[in-house]
Amino acid sequence: MAHASPSRSSSSATSGVPRILVYGALMLVCLAFVPPAVIARVRANPSPNRGIAIIQNMADQPSLRAQQPNELFQDGRAARPPIAGALARQDPVQRDVLWQGGADGAWSTALPPELTLDMAMLERGRERYAIYCALCHGYAGFGDGIINVRAQELLANVSGPVDGTVWVQPRSLHEPEVEAQPVGQIFHTISNGIRNMAGYAAQIPVEDRWAIAAYVKALQRSQNAREQDVPADKRPFLKPAS
């Protein structure tokens, strides 16, 4: 018995796809390359025109040109005069000894002329030092404050970094390198920080920072004082070193 041959081959079955679908698919593929090409061109050639901001977030606000009138203020001026007594962050007045600890590239070896060194200032410096500095540097300045003691206890109980960090012991203020620093340099370190130490300009007023710097110099002197540095009328009250 003869077998019936199939009416269509496999190749003829695929040829039955309408050409319109093939052309349409090719067109869609070509169109898919248009957005990336447009984006690449825009990124390579920025437009000087203002961009389209769907979410404004206060990006588009009314503004006034110089010398234009403004009815918001009583004097009708858009440009506002500077507030009396205000100083710009980089004002030359703030680049002097009082604010920077030195001038003309050299650290000051004395307090600014605006301040007076007396016992009241040193007492204020001792008080501020105990609040902000003694926790790390210790009350005597040897870098053995309570924070350092606690950190050493943690390191003794674990091996390796604690929570991904390591502890660097605060420097002793009586190291020769630190003792040789002028008072202006110490003030600058208190204000802006150094290495792992953060600056305290935001927390401590400028006069108090100078008071702390003066107290640090007095603290250094106290640990290296000689009998000749003590007034003659006070020497009888000195206790012999144990």
Q: DSSP letter string over 51-98?
A: PP-SS-TT-S-----TT-B-TTSTT-BSSPPPPTT---TT-GGGGSHH
Residue 10: band (very low, low, confident or very high) from pLDDT cuts 50, 70, 90: very low
pLDDT at 226: 78
Structure tokens at 75: 């004097």
pLDDT at 162: 61
Superfamily, domain 118-225: Cytochrome c-like domain (1.10.760.10)
pLDDT at 81: 82
pLDDT at 165: 67
Quote the CA–CA distance of 172 and 136 in Å, as a whole number.
10
Distance from the Cα of residue 5 to its chain's centroid: 85
Quote the CA–CA distance of 133 and 190 in Å, as a whole number.
9
Quote the CA–CA distance of 147 and 170 in Å, as a whole number.
10
Residue 215: band (very low, low, confident or very high) from pLDDT cuts 50, 70, 90: very high
More confident residue, 48 or 35: 35
Structure tokens at 230: 């003590």
Quick: pLDDT tens for 131-154.
999 999 999 889 888 988 888 887
The overall average pLDDT reported for the chain is 81
Question: Is the model's pLDDT at 52 over the cut of 50?
Answer: yes
Q: Give the global pTM.
A: 0.57
Structure tokens at 169: 């012991």
Is residue 125 within 8 A of residue 215, CB to CB? The reply is yes
Quick: pLDDT tens for 91-135.
554 457 888 888 777 898 889 888 889 999 999 999 999 999 999
Domain ranges of the chain: 118-225
Question: Is the model's pLDDT at 221 over the cut of 70?
Answer: yes
Question: Is the model's pLDDT at 5 over the cut of 70?
Answer: no
Structure tokens at 193: 């920080």
> Residues, the chain, total?
242
pLDDT at 12: 47
pLDDT at 128: 95
Selection from 96-110, 188-202, 205-219 with the highest mean pLDDT? 205-219
Quote the CA–CA distance of 47 and 5 in Å, as a whole number.
67
Burial class (CB in 10 A: 0-12, 13-18, 19+), 127: middle
Quick: pLDDT tens for 58-89.
777 778 888 888 888 888 888 888 787 776 66
Distance from the Cα of residue 27 to its chain's centroid: 55
Q: Strand (E) positions, the chain?
A: 102-103, 106-107, 193-194, 197-198
Query: Coil, strand, or helix at residue 103?
Result: strand
